[in-house]
Amino acid sequence: MLPRELNTHPHFTHNETPLMPNLPLRILVLEDHAFQRSVAVNMLQGLGCEQVLEASDGAQALALLDQVGSVDVALCDLQMEGMDGLEFLQRVGASGQVRSVIISSSLSADLRRAVHQMVALLGLNLLGDVGKPLHAQVLAELLDTFVNRQISPSQPQRTTTLASEREVRHALAEGQLQAWYQPKFNLQSGEVCGLEVLCRWLHPTRGLISPALFVPVLERCALLDEMLFAQIGQALRVQRSARAQGFVLNMAFNLQTVQLANAQLTSTLKSLLAEHKTCGSSLTFELTESGLLEAPATSLESLVRLRIMGCRLSIDDFGAGFSSLQRLCQLPFNEIKLDADFIRNLAHEPRCRAAISSTLALGETLGMSVVIEGIETDAQRRELLALGCTQGQGYWYARPMAGADLLNWLQQRNHRRDSDE
């Protein structure tokens, strides 16, 4: 089916979006219902899209793409006769013929959310989910976002190439891998109740380097333990300074499952704790649940030894993998950190609310505290409080910060609290 030409005289009601400047976009509308397809095409033309293509099923859409080339955005229904939207997305996932996808479907929210995951796994960019019926204002905002993303002043390109082993070893030796801190807080009182310790590479010429570019190298070169022990040493010094200001703060460190096999893990930790004159109860170790499903006996021994030392153990990103309740009962954890994705979807996905409530109840039954990750707004905080959550972490409260900045931040909070009394 050939593309329809741009309609330069669209007719909108007073509730719809007026004609926008021409958008240099090629859009594909995949919709089997003729009237709804016509509405979508006319709406996109009215929004000023340069070229709007249409197809009534996935097979026709693929043939059209082969004929005219790639498109910027596919506005895609999911249910249709012939090849449906799911199979179409599977086919174009590896082809590069579709740059972004907008889902337009009357399927239930839980099914559409599963499709969102599918789109991400296929390597496609999900621009939005507009449901049905279509609204011009919503479409306009999504297309504007797409265009601005393409024409905005280009940011300095951050390399996606992993650092070399030599660079990472040098960074470790020179102390360039620094511990940064993100507070955990009490949702009701706002008081700091702990800190998650994160690793940041402060390169002397390249600035802040993402952990994604060096942590895989540390893992491949068996340097995770060296980084961990360096982090713990830095963090315990900051902890001592914070204690001098009147803040008793637990420090939480991310631990990979593979590190549990290190026979020297607990003995080295004991030495570090003795050196800094503190006890195991001042530390928490966070492990992602996916690596714990098949934890061998050696890993279980390390977990038990850490608990015997007084350390807390937290299951990180809980709910992001395929949770095993049996393993949760078997392993000696005393904290659950619920994955941030549940909070991001809390407002519009009832199942996320149910999952949070169930996890809070599970934690209470098992005697485990529950920390909610990814809190970004006060509305989220208040909604979580209403559900019974007491501890959280996220940008609403504080972003990760260097040790010196953390101590200043704590001091300023002390001064504000004193002045309010």
Domains, the chain, with CATH or none: 23-151 (3.40.50.2300), 165-420 (3.20.20.450)
Q: What is the mean pLDDT of the chain?
A: 86
Mean per-residue pLDDT, 302-328: 82
With a cut of 80, say whether residue 59 has pLDDT above it. yes
Greater pLDDT, 133 or 288: 133
356 burial (CB, 10 Å; 0-12 / 13-18 / 19+) is buried
Q: Rounded to whole angstroms, how far apart are CA atoms 336 and 363?
A: 7
Q: What phi, psi does 172 have (nearest 5°)?
A: -65, -45
How would residue 418 be classed by pLDDT, with cut points 50, 70 and 90?
low
Strands 335-338 and 312-318: parallel
Residues serving a catalytic function are 373
Please answer whether residues 177 and 229 qualify as being in contact, where contact means their C-beta atoms are separated by less than 8 angstroms: no
With a cut of 80, say whether residue 417 has pLDDT above it. no
Give me the pLDDT at residue 94, please. Answer: 73
Q: Rounded to whole angstroms, how far apart are CA atoms 314 and 127?
A: 34
With a cut of 80, say whether residue 213 has pLDDT above it. yes
How many helices and strands in the chain, by DSSP H and E? 15, 15
Beta bridge partners of 49: 23
Mean per-residue pLDDT, 415-419: 72
Q: Count of CB atoms within 10 A of residue 379's CB?
A: 12
The pTM of the whole model exceeds 0.85: no
Q: Rounded to whole angstroms, how far apart are CA atoms 123 and 99?
A: 10
Please answer whether residues 282 and 251 qualify as being in contact, where contact means their C-beta atoms are separated by less than 8 angstroms: yes
Q: Rounded to whole angstroms, how far apart are CA atoms 369 and 318?
A: 13
Query: pLDDT for 360-390, tens place per residue?
Result: 999 999 999 999 999 999 999 999 999 999 9
* DSSP per-residue string spanning 196-259: EEEEEEEETTTEEE-GGGTHHHHHHTT-HHHHHHHHHHHHHHHHHHHHHTT----EEEE--GGG
Beta strands (DSSP E) in 95-176 are 98-103, 125-129
With a cut of 90, say whether residue 313 has pLDDT above it. yes
How would residue 153 be classed by pLDDT, with cut points 50, 70 and 90?
very low
Q: What distances in angstroms separate CA 320 from CA 166, 288, 303, 341, 388, one per listed residue? A: 34, 9, 21, 8, 21
Please answer whether residues 102 and 142 qualify as being in contact, where contact means their C-beta atoms are separated by less than 8 angstroms: yes
Please answer whether residues 286 and 254 qualify as being in contact, where contact means their C-beta atoms are separated by less than 8 angstroms: yes
Give me the pLDDT at residue 305, please. Answer: 93
Residue 175: both structure tokens together = 């102390």
With a cut of 90, say whether residue 113 has pLDDT above it. no
* Residue showing tokens 């996932």: 93
With a cut of 90, say whether residue 24 has pLDDT above it. no
Give me the pLDDT at residue 324, please. Answer: 62
Q: Rounded to whole angstroms, how far apart are CA atoms 320 and 87?
A: 25
With a cut of 60, say whether residue 6 has pLDDT above it. no
How would residue 239 be classed by pLDDT, with cut points 50, 70 and 90?
very high
Q: Highest-confidence range of 123-127, 272-276, 318-322, 416-420, by mean pLDDT?
A: 272-276
* Residue showing tokens 């095993």: 324
Alpha helix stretches (DSSP H) within 258-402: 265-275, 297-308, 325-330, 341-344, 350-366, 378-387
Residue 131: both structure tokens together = 């449901």
